[in-house]
Amino acid sequence: MNRIDARFKDLGARGRAAFIPFFTAGDPAPETTVELLRRVQDAGADVVELGFPYSDPIADGPTIQDSYHRALRRGLRVGEVFDMVRQARDRCELPIVAMASYSLVFRMGMEDFMDRCLAAGLDGATVPDLPVDEAEPFFTMAKERDFRLVCFATPATSEHRRELVIEHAHGFIYYIAVRGTTGERTELPPDLVDNLAALKRRTEVPVTVGFGISRPDQAAAVAGHADGVIVGSAIVKRMAAAANAREDPVETALGFIRTMAAATRETN
């Protein structure tokens, strides 16, 4: 069984939401990423989303964009990201999901990208700029390889595309809580709970929520209605501040992840 499916099945049996941290591969350094991957399970993570740095991401706000640019300025290449995952797998049993621009996938070729993901130890991918209604070959290939291509849904997703997401979704659905790009928010949308309930009534695939979650109270609130909570910008921001202050970005990230992961369990 794919690690993503196994993890959500176990959490569902225990009535728990997953905590899913995001961090950028190679920021502030490749060895930082490897250490985080090796240690993040002990901090309470259930699944990891790993960003593949790209020069022009379409869905990411300034915090994650800056982290991508820092990694690229240091000369990071896509092959190094696969190497980081491969190195970390000696002590990391968690599902790891790549977040990669379709430009990177297209340049490499769908089949080669997926094969390299699997060889490195990645369990699935989110490709935010690949429209679900144009992804049929990718979904077919993913199913053949037991690889999970995670679909997105947003408050503005049309009914037609929402039906395609429900039809093709495997692993989990990534529900984008807010309109706009990634980044910390002081408040989450008032219609979030209703939107989640409507989506969950139509699919048995786990539904996770990301974009805008930055505080423990927000994580706890979302965990009461979703199958998973994704936190990215708040982690990346704290790591960058720690690196600038010559503090340990790994310990900073793990401390914050412990707090947020504990919050997701408060309502379960």
How many Å apart are CA 234 and CA 206, to the nearest integer? Answer: 23
Q: What backbone torsions phi and psi does residue 212 show, to the nearest 5 degrees?
A: 95, -10
Of the chain, the percentage scoring pLDDT greater than 70 comes to 93
DSSP state of 47: S
Pick one of 3.20.20.70, 3.40.50.200, 3.60.10.10, 3.90.1150.10 as the CATH number of 3-262.
3.20.20.70
In single-letter form, the type of residue at position 35 comes to: E
Please answer whether residues 59 and 181 qualify as being in contact, where contact means their C-beta atoms are separated by less than 8 angstroms: yes
- For the chain, what is the mean pLDDT? 92
User: What pLDDT sits at residue 79?
Assistant: 97
Please answer whether residues 25 and 50 qualify as being in contact, where contact means their C-beta atoms are separated by less than 8 angstroms: yes
Q: b/e per residue, 85-119, with b = 16+ CB within 10 A?
A: bebbbeebebbbbbbbbbbbbeebebeebbebbee
- Residue 12's pLDDT band, with cuts at 50, 70 and 90, is very high
Question: For the segment 224-256, what is each residue's pLDDT rounded down to a tens digit?
Answer: 999 999 999 999 999 999 999 999 999 999 999
Taking Cα atoms as reference points, which of 243, 239, 240 lies closest to residue 253?
Answer: 239
DSSP state of 123: -
- The whole-number average pLDDT for the span 182-188 is 50
- The whole-number average pLDDT for the span 97-121 is 95
- Residue 90's pLDDT band, with cuts at 50, 70 and 90, is very high
How many Å apart are CA 152 and CA 97, to the nearest integer? Answer: 14
User: What pLDDT sits at residue 91?
Assistant: 96
Q: Please determine, for residue 180, whether its predicted confidence score (pLDDT) is greater than 50.
A: no
Please answer whether residues 182 and 63 qualify as being in contact, where contact means their C-beta atoms are separated by less than 8 angstroms: yes
Taking Cα atoms as reference points, which of 86, 85, 88, 127 lies closest to residue 108?
Answer: 127
- Cα 131 from chain centroid (whole Å): 17
- Residue 181's pLDDT band, with cuts at 50, 70 and 90, is very low
How many Å apart are CA 66 and CA 238, to the nearest integer? Answer: 13
User: What pLDDT sits at residue 96?
Assistant: 98
pTM of the model: 0.94
In this structure, of 18-27, 28-37, 129-138, the range with the lowest mean pLDDT score is 129-138
- The whole-number average pLDDT for the span 51-65 is 82
How many Å apart are CA 150 and CA 129, to the nearest integer? Answer: 12
Q: How many CA atoms lie within 13 A of 4 on its CB side?
A: 28
Active site residues: 49, 60
Question: Look-up: residue for tokens 């959500």?
Answer: 8
In this structure, of 42-51, 140-149, 166-175, 190-199, the range with the lowest mean pLDDT score is 190-199
- Residue 186's pLDDT band, with cuts at 50, 70 and 90, is very low
In this structure, of 119-133, 140-154, 185-199, the range with the lowest mean pLDDT score is 185-199
Question: For the segment 195-210, what is each residue's pLDDT rounded down to a tens digit?
Answer: 999 999 999 999 999 9
Q: What backbone torsions phi and psi does residue 144 show, to the nearest 5 degrees?
A: -65, -25
Q: DSSP letters along 68-128, please?
A: HHHHHHTT--HHHHHHHHHHHTTT--S-EEEE--HHHHHHH-HHHHHHHHHHHT--EEE-T
